[in-house]
């Protein structure tokens, strides 16, 4: 089993400077605050490119909208292989895998998102670097690929341009939703074309963090008219827009001392004042476990919580646990029982895929039989929808 105790340093913060691509940054002395920045860690080899779906197999990375980002790896199928795949040909800049996102000529968009290893602190001088290569199957190229740093995880159910939505209260009982473009801290200049299909192009820039930034989202946050769209003659014109492979993402603090200790303390991750130590029979809620709506597909937004559990199991090699799934009170008893069991199994399957001996793990679905709050309110139902682990032996 892998040792996860050294994998958890943490995050970042805001202002903005346009990205430059003229020179490559020196990355030899700074810690990368992005986990799995080269997309080398994954749950399973990619099998197909889905027009609709979720990015669920690359550790730590996921899509914040319904736009379906893609994963490619040497071990993948013909559709998702490396260097040749359904959407073009490109060797990884680093390692054996990379991701892909699509920016159509209209407002269809795909994005990649991840949580940083630690929150950014006010005054941190932050440099973002990532590499892109245009698929030769594209119709055109854009310029304004960017990195947006936010304090909270942002998401939407759209497949179009990712916009900031703010609810304004106009008067008692009257409200409206106002949308506006996000303003990325780092954006490739509109006059510098990202049109190279043979080589990787570097997008990089620096900004000063405001403090608390913890998530980064990559993609094109501009309308097509403001994206610096071009039509290189070298393209095959098969895809109605620009498709980019992305690899080697780095976020570095240029004025920070070397990290000392992990900010995520695995020893205390699941402790409460009522239960100060791990012991047989102890039950702990996994607070940030996410699934597709009404499904048992485990989303990569759960990565950091699962990493803490992996580190705990690594720390206590004799520990065996039961993963328990729970639902709220909506729906039939049979449906909730099946859903809770499948979700608990999905967590166990993930742990086994990361090297945990299956003999140390059990799973059980409890459906809606063990609520911890009222099912009469949304807040109570949210608490009842949970995944827990119980210590069976130490």
Highest mean pLDDT: which range of 3-7, 145-149, 384-388: 145-149
pTM of the model: 0.81
Cβ atoms 98, 247 nearer than 8 A: yes
Domain 70-253 fold:
Jelly Rolls (2.60.120)
pLDDT at 169: 66
Query: Which of the four CATH numbers 3.40.50.880, 3.40.50.720, 1.10.3720.10, 3.30.1330.60 does domain 266-393 have?
Result: 3.30.1330.60
The model's pLDDT over 95-134, given as tens digits with 9 standing for 90+, comes to 999 999 998 777 889 999 999 988 999 999 999 999 999 9
**C-alpha dist (Å) from residue 319 to 4, 266, 279, 359, 361:** 16, 15, 10, 10, 9
The model's pLDDT over 193-231, given as tens digits with 9 standing for 90+, comes to 999 999 999 999 999 999 999 999 999 999 888 888 888
All structural domains of the chain with their residue ranges:
70-253, 266-393
Nearest CA among 110, 99, 91 for reference residue 200: 91
**Cα-Cα-Cα-Cα dihedral sign, residues 235, 237, 243, 247:** negative
Of all residues in the chain, what percent carry a pLDDT higher than 70? 87
- The SS3 of residue 287 is coil
The model's pLDDT over 254-301, given as tens digits with 9 standing for 90+, comes to 998 876 444 444 444 555 545 557 888 888 888 888 888 888 888 888
Nearest CA among 201, 116, 99, 200 for reference residue 152: 116
The model's pLDDT over 15-54, given as tens digits with 9 standing for 90+, comes to 233 344 445 566 557 889 999 999 999 888 999 888 877 8
Nearest CA among 65, 244, 68 for reference residue 142: 244
The single residue listed with the structure tokens 């054996």 is 96
Cβ atoms 159, 109 nearer than 8 A: yes
Domain 70-253 identical in fold to domain 266-393 = no
pLDDT at 180: 87
SS (H, E, C) 318-360: CCEEEEEEECCCCCCHHHHHHHHHHHHHHHHHHHHHCCCCHHH
**C-alpha dist (Å) from residue 390 to 198, 324, 342:** 52, 8, 17
* Averaged pLDDT, 60-88: 93
User: Where does the pLDDT of residue 305 fall: very low under 50, low under 70, confident under 90, or very high at 90 and above?
Assistant: confident
Report which of residues 391 and 233 the model is more confident about: 391
pLDDT at 28: 56
pLDDT at 176: 74
Q: Could you tell me the two tokens for 13? A: 């913060």
**C-alpha dist (Å) from residue 200 to 4, 91, 213:** 31, 9, 28
The single residue listed with the structure tokens 């097509």 is 224
Burial of 35 (0-12, 13-18, 19+ CB in 10 A): buried
CA–CA separation, 118 and 110 (whole Å): 25
Burial 154-189 (b: 16+ CB within 10 A, else e): bbbeebebbeeeeeeeeeeeeeeeeeeebebbbbbe
CA–CA separation, 122 and 152 (whole Å): 16
pLDDT at 21: 44
First to last CA, the chain: 17
């Amino acid at each position: 089993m892998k040792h996860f105790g050294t994998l958890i340093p943490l995050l970042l913060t805001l202002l903005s400077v346009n990205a430059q691509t003229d020179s490559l940054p020196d990355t030899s002395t700074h810690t990368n605050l992005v986990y799995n920045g080269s997309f080398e860690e994954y749950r399973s080899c990619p099998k197909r490119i889905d027009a609709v779906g979720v990015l669920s197999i690359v550790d730590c990375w996921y899509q914040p909208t319904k736009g379906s980002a893609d994963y490619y790896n040497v071990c993948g199928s013909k559709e998702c292989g490396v260097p040749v795949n359904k959407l073009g040909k490109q060797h990884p800049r680093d390692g054996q895998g990379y991701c892909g996102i699509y920016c159509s000529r209209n407002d269809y968009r795909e994005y990649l998102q991840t949580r940083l290893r630690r929150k950014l602190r006010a005054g941190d001088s932050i440099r973002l670097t990532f590499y892109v290569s245009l698929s030769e199957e594209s119709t055109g190229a854009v310029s304004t690929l960017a990195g947006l740093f936010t304090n909270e995880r942002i998401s939407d159910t759209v497949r179009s341009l990712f916009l900031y939505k703010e609810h304004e209260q106009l008067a008692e009982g009257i409200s409206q939703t106002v949308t506006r473009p996000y303003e990325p801290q780092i954006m490739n200049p509109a006059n510098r074309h990202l049109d190279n299909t043979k080589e990787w192009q570097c997008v990089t820039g620096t900004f000063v963090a405001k403090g608390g930034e913890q998530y980064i989202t990559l993609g094109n946050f501009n309308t097509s008219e403001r994206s610096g769209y071009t039509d290189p003659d070298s393209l095959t014109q098969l895809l109605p827009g620009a498709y980019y492979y992305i690899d080697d993402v780095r976020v570095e603090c240029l004025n920070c001392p070397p990290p000392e200790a992990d900010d995520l303390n695995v020893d205390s991750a699941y402790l409460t004042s009522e239960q100060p130590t791990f012991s047989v029979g102890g039950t702990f809620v996994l607070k940030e476990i996410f699934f597709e709506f009404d499904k048992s597909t485990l989303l990569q937004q759960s990565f950091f919580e699962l990493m803490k559990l992996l580190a705990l199991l690594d720390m206590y090699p004799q520990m065996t646990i039961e993963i328990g799934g729970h639902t709220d009170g909506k729906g039939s008893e049979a449906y909730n029982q099946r859903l809770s069991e499948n979700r608990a199994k999905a967590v166990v399957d993930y742990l086994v895929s990361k090297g945990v001996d299956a003999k140390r793990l059990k799973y059980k679905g409890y459906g809606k039989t063990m609520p911890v709050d009222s099912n009469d309110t949304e807040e109570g139902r949210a608490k009842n929808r949970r995944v827990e682990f119980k210590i069976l032996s130490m």
